[in-house]
Chains A and B, each alone.
Chain A
Amino acid sequence: MTSTLFTDHLAAWLVILPLLCAPVMVLLNRSKLVWLLNLVVSASCLIIALHILWDVSTGTVIHYAMGGWTPPWGIEYRIDGLNALVAVIVSAMATACAVYARKSVEQEISVHVHGLFYAAFQLCFLGLLGIALTGDIFNLFVFLEISSLASYALIAMGRNRKALNSAFHYLILGTLGATFFLIGVGLAFAATGTLNMADMALSLQDAANTPLLLTAFALIVVGVALKAAIYPLHLWLPGAYAYAPSVVSVFLAATATKVAIYVLIRCLFSVFEPDYMLDTFLPDILVVLGGVAILYGSLRAIYQEGMKKMLAYSSVAQIGYMVMGIGFLSAAGLTASLLHMFNHALMKGAMFMAVGLFVYRVNTATFDNLKGMGREMPYTFFAMVLAALSLVGVPGTVGFVSKWQLLQAALENRHWGMVMIILLGSLMAAIYVWKLIEVLYFQQPEKLRVQGVSSGSERIGRSPAGMVIALWVMALGCVYFGLDTDLSLHSAQYAVTELLQGRGN
C-alpha cells in the first residue's frame, strides 16, 4: 500500500515533501532539529531524483497527472532526461548545502529565525524542483515565483545591511522578469488556448507567425533572460550573491540561474518552433551576448576587491558559456551548455563554500582581510584551488570537459571568433583565479584579524567539520567528473537527443 503510494507518485513526492516540511520547520523552530529535517528532506529528494533519472535513462518519459486531472486540463508532470538532470543538479546541491549549512547558519543568522530560514530554503528548493519537473507553463510560472520569493527572503537575511538593498533590487527586477514571462504566457495562451507545454507546441505548429505569438515569444525570452542573468540583464546578480548569507550564495549560485537557463532551453526548443528563434535572429544574438558576457564578466571579476563579488562576476561570464552553447543551435552546443550547467554547479558551489568558510573565520570576504588566510586554512585553500582550476578549465577537472565540448561545438559551426573568445575567457579566468591564490597564499596579513570574540571563550579557531566535508565533496566532484565523464556527459547527450527529437515530432 505504502509502497505503491510512494512509487506511483514519485514525481509528486519530490515537490510535496519540501512543501510539507516548510511549515513544520517554522513550527519547530529549533535550530538543530530543523537543520536535521532539512538535511533529511534534501537527501531524500536527491535519492528520488536519482531514481527518476535512472528510470528515465532507459528511454521512457514519465507522465504524471497532478491530482488525477488528465492533461491538457490538469497539470501534468512530464519528465524526460533533461528534466531529470536538472532535478538531480538541484537536489544534489541542496543536499550539499544542507550538510554545509549548520555552523554557517548558526553564525550568520540570529537564532530565532532559523526555522524561517530553513523553511524559506526548502521553499526555494521546492520552487526550483517544480520548475524542473512541470510540463505546464503556467505552473512553471507559479514555481518560478515561489522560488524567487523565497530567495528574496533568503538574501535579505544576510548580515550586511546592503543585503536588504540587494534583496529589494532583486525583488523589483525579479518581479519585472516574472511579469514579462507571465504576459508572454498569457499571450501564448490567448493564441493557443492551452497551457500544457506539449499541447501548446502542437497548436503552435499550425499557427502562423502572427505578431501576437512573436510578442509572446519575445516577452518570455526577455523575462527568462533576466532570471538567468544573461548579459546585459545581469545587474541584479552580483549584489544578490555578494550580500546573501553564505549558504544562500552557494545554493543560488549553483542552481538558480541554471534552472532559468533550463527554462530558456525548454521554451526555445520544446514549446516554440525554431522558426521563431531564426526569425528574430535570436541564435546569433545569444552567441554574441554569450561572448560579450564571457569577456565582460571575466574583466569585471579581475577588478573586484572582494571574493564574493569576484565569483559573482565570474558567474556572469560562465552563464555566457551556457548561452553561447544554446546559440550554436546544434546538438553539440546544447550538450556543452547542459554539461556546463552541471559542471558549473559543482565548481561555483565549491568556490562559494570556500568563501563561506573564510567568512566564518574572518567575518568578511574582502581581499584586504583575507591576505595569507590560505596558509592558516590549508584544507579549505586546497579544495578551493581545485575548484578554481576547474574555473580556468585545466585538464583533469570538470571545467576542461565543458570547455572542450563548447570548443568542439564552436568549431563545428566555424565560429572562429567565438573560439578565440572562449580561449581568451579561460586566460582571463586564470588571471582572476591567480589573484585569489596570490592574496590567500602569498601575501602577508596586514593587520590583526578580528575574529568572533563575542563572549570570552567563543573564539573561532577551527573550521567546522561539516562545512569542510561538504566543500571537499564538491571539490573532489570537480576532479572526479573531470576524469570520468560517463554520468554527466551521457545524461547531457541523452537529454539533448530527446529534446531535439521531441521537436521533430
Chain B
Amino acid sequence: MWIVDLPPFLPFFIGAIIALLLPPKLRPVFMLLIPVWGGLNLFFTHSLSQGVNWQLMGFTLELMNVDKLSVMFGYLFHIAAFLALLFALHVKDPLQQIASLLYAGSALGAVFSGDLLSLFLFWELLALTSVWLVLARRTDRATRAAMRYLLLQVLSGVLLLAGALLHYRDTGSLSFDHIGLSSVASWLLFIAFGIKAAFPGLHTWLTDAYPEATATGTVFLSAFTTKVAIFALARCFAGTELLIYIGAAMTCFPIFYAVIENDLRKVLAYSLINQLGFMVCGIGIGTALALNGAVAHAFNDVIFKGLLFMTMGAVLHRVGHVLGSDLGGLHKTMPRTTMFCIVGAASISAFPLFSGFVSKSMVMAALIEQGHDILWLMLLFASAGVFHHAGIKIPFFAFFAHDSGLRPKEAPLNMQLAMFGAAVLCIAIGSNPQWLYQLLPWENSYVPYDLTHTLTQLQLLFFSALAFVWLNKQGMYPPELRSVNLDMEWFYRRLLPATATRVRGVVSTLWCGLRDWVMDHWHAMPQMSPSSSYSAAQLTRRMAAVLAILLLLSYLSLP
C-alpha cells in the first residue's frame, strides 16, 4: 500500500499520464485520489526515507531530500493540491486537468530536491506547466499575459541555471543548502528566486497573469510558484539582512495599488505579494522564531489565500467577471460563498482565532526582538492595509455594497466543499496553533495568545475598520472604476515598445544609409553577369570573402 522512498512528484506525474488515458467521467475522481494517496504515503514513509538519487551527466540528482522543512511543505502542497483539485472537480478541459497535476507535482519535486540541478529541473517545469492554466482561459488578454508570464519565469530559470553553474565552478558543490549573499553566483540565484518570489519590481508577472488565469487555475497558481520561491529563499538565504528591507517594501507598496484596483482577483494578487513580504521579512531576520513564522505564514497563506481565490473563482464562474464596480449584493443568493469569503478575509487580516494571526504575529515579534522598530511600524501599517483591501474590500464590494441586481446561483457543490475544507483549516489552525507549530522545522516555543498581542491586533483591526467606514461614508474612498492600472509593467508594456519603435526608426535609417552607400560602391565595381539567383551569387561572394580573410590572417602569421 505504501511505497518507501517514492519521490512525491512521481505519483502526480504518473497520475497525469494515467488521467489522460482515462475516460473523461472517471478522470476528475481519479485525480482527486492522487494527492490523498500521495500525502498519506509521505506521512507514513517519510521517516524511513533513505534518499533517492539519479545520475545525470556525472552529477547526482537528489530527488528525495527529507528534512522537517521539506516535509512541512510536502504536506502543505498535498493539502493545497487536494483542495484545488476538489474546487476544479467540475472542469472538463483536459488541458487544465493535466497541467494542474503536473504543476503540483513540479512544486513537490522542487521542495524535495537536494541539489541545485534538480531544483532547476523542477523550477523550469513549474513555469512550463503553470502557463497552461493562464492560457486555458483562451482569451486574447490571457494569451498575451501568459506570454509575458512565461518569459519572466524562463528568465528566472536561466538565471538559476547560470547561478548554479557558477556556484559549482566556485565551490565544487551543487548542494541546495545555505548559500548566503556573497559571490556573483549567489546574486544570480538570489535574483532568480526573487523573480519567483515577486520582489518589488520583479513582481509584475504575478499581478499580470494571475487575474487572467481561469477561475480554477488561479487557485493552483496562488498556491505553488511563490511558495516554492519562499522555500528556496529559506533554504539558501536565511538571515540575509537585505531580505528584511525587501520584505518590508513588499508588504507596503502593493497596498496602494490594491486599494485602487477594480478587478478583485488582481486585488488578491496584490495582497498575495503583501503576504509574501511578511515571509521574506521573516527569512531575512533569520532567527528561529522568524523563520518558523515565515514558513508557518507560508502554510497559512496557501490556505487562506487559496480560499479567497476560490470564492472569487466561484463568483467568476457564476457571474463571468470579478469587477468590483459591477458586483454587489451577491450575499442574497450566494450566502455560503459569502461566509467562506469572510472566513478567508478574517484569516488574512489576522483576526485572533483565525490562522493568519498565529503566524503573522511570530514574524512581527521576531522583528521587534531584533530591534527593527521602523520596519515593525511598516509591517503594522501593512497589516492594517491588508485588512483594509483584502479583509473588507473584497467581501464588501463583491457580496454587499450597492445591490447590483445580479442574482447568480450558489457556487457548485464541489466548489462549496473545497471552500468549506479550506475554511475549516483556517479556523482549526487559528484556534489550535500547536497543530501547525509541531510541524515547524526550527526549535522554538511561542505562545500567540497572550493579552498584549491579542489586544494590539484587535485594536489595529477595529481602527482600520473604522477608517474604512468613515472614508466610505464621507465618500472619500477611491471609487471602483473600470480601468486597467499599470504599475511597474508600464516600463515594458508602454515605455519599452515606444522606445523600441523610436530606436528601430533610427537604426533602420542608419542601416539603409549604410547599405545604399555600400551598394553604390559595390555596383561601381566591375562585375560578372548576374548569376541565376541572388542567393547563389551572394553566397559565392561570402565564400570568397571568408577565404580571403582566412588566407590573409594566416599569411600575416608567417614569419
Contact = CB atoms under 8 A, between A and B. Distances in A.
A411 interface: yes
A160 interface: no
Contacts of B151: 427, 430-431
A423 B550 contact: no
Contacts of B543: 176-177, 180, 222, 226, 233
A177 B539 CA distance: 11
A442 B144 CA distance: 12
Interface string A222-247: 10011000001101100100000000
Nearest to B123: A395
Nearest to B545: A232
A404 B169 CA distance: 13
A211 interface: yes
A426 B165 CA distance: 16
Interface in B120-176: 120-121, 124-125, 128, 135, 138, 143, 147, 150-151, 154-155, 158, 161-162, 165-166, 169
A209 B550 contact: no
A279 interface: yes
A236 B535 contact: yes
Contact of B150 (A168, A172, A222, A430): A430
A281 interface: yes
Interface in A259-295: 276, 279-282, 285
Contacts of B528: none
Interface in A144-177: 165, 168-169, 172-173, 176-177
Contact of B143 (A209, A221, A426, A442): A442
Given A225-B546, A411-B165, A485-B57, A279 B533 contact: no
B120 A411 contact: no
Contacts of A131: none
Interface string B110-124: 000000010011001
Given A279-B557, A395-B120, A430 B161 contact: no
B36 interface: no
A405 interface: yes
Nearest to A232: B542
A281 B546 CA distance: 13
Contacts of B536: 169, 172-173
B378 interface: no
A239 B535 CA distance: 10
B540 interface: yes
B500 to A, nearest CB: 14
B56 A483 contact: yes
Interface string B522-559: 00000000011101101110110011001101110110
A423 B188 CA distance: 13
Interface residues of A, number: 53
B426 to A, nearest CB: 36
Given A218-B550, A225-B546, A407-B165, A235 B535 contact: yes
A408 B128 contact: no
Interface string A391-405: 000111000010011
Interface in B49-88: 54, 56-58
A214 interface: yes
A281 B549 CA distance: 10
Nearest to A389: B128
A169 B535 CA distance: 8
Contacts of A442: 135, 138, 143
B128 A168 contact: no
A438 interface: yes
Interface in A108-142: none
A217 B547 CA distance: 10
A325 to B, nearest CB: 15
Nearest to B158: A423
A282 B56 contact: no
A148 to B, nearest CB: 15
B310 to A, nearest CB: 26
A395 B158 contact: no
A221 B551 CA distance: 11
B538 A235 contact: yes
Contact of A427 (B147, B155, B166): B155
A277 to B, nearest CB: 10
Contacts of A47: none
Contact of B533 (A165, A180, A431): A165
Nearest to B548: A218
A485 B546 CA distance: 37
Contacts of A396: 121, 125
A357 to B, nearest CB: 20
A502 B543 CA distance: 31
Interface string A401-423: 10011011001000000010001
Interface centre among B54, B120, B538, B558 (most CB of A within 10 A): B558
B370 to A, nearest CB: 38
A227 to B, nearest CB: 11
Contacts of B143: 438, 442
Nearest to B546: A222
A235 B539 contact: yes
Contacts of A427: 151, 154-155, 158
B166 A180 contact: no
Given A211-B558, A214-B555, A279-B554, A233 B539 contact: yes
Contacts of A438: 143
A180 B539 CA distance: 14
Given A276-B554, A442-B135, 17 more contacts: A168-B532, A169-B536, A173-B536, A180-B543, A209-B557, A214-B555, A219-B547, A233-B539, A233-B546, A236-B535, A279-B553, A395-B120, A407-B165, A419-B162, A423-B162, A430-B151, A434-B150
29 contacts: A169-B535, A172-B532, A173-B536, A173-B539, A176-B543, A177-B543, A180-B543, A211-B555, A211-B558, A219-B547, A222-B546, A232-B546, A233-B539, A235-B538, A279-B553, A279-B554, A280-B550, A281-B553, A285-B550, A394-B128, A395-B117, A396-B121, A407-B162, A411-B169, A423-B161, A430-B150, A430-B151, A434-B147, A442-B143
